[in-house]
């Protein structure tokens, strides 16, 4: 049985529009200055996004760490 949380999400892309990616293909990400973030995909390409890390966490329904 397939994982029911392995649905597609639309990540806003810097080039306009967005990138439709499957959750299981996201292997990581990092902030990209004040311009958003880079999302690394297991299939190879990276998505340069205007979304921030907290916004990406919201798309993935994940919690963000609060380091203080």
Q: Is the pLDDT of residue 68 over 90?
A: no
Mean pLDDT of all residues in 31-48: 89
Predicted TM-score (pTM) of the model is: 0.76
Q: Is the pLDDT of residue 1 over 50?
A: no
pLDDT at 4 (0 to 100) = 57
The maximal CA–CA distance of the chain, rounded, in angstroms, is: 41
Q: Is the pLDDT of residue 11 over 70?
A: yes
Handedness of CA 32, 36, 37, 38 (dihedral sign): negative
DSSP state of 56: H
Mean pLDDT of all residues in 19-28: 90
């Amino acid at each position: 049985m397939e994982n029911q949380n392995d649905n597609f999400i639309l990540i806003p892309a810097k080039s306009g529009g967005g990138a439709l990616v499957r959750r299981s293909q996201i292997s990581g990400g990092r902030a990209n200055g004040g311009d958003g973030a880079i999302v690394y995909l297991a299939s190879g390409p990276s998505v340069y996004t205007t979304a921030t890390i907290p916004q990406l966490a919201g798309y993935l329904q994940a919690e963000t760490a609060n380091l203080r």
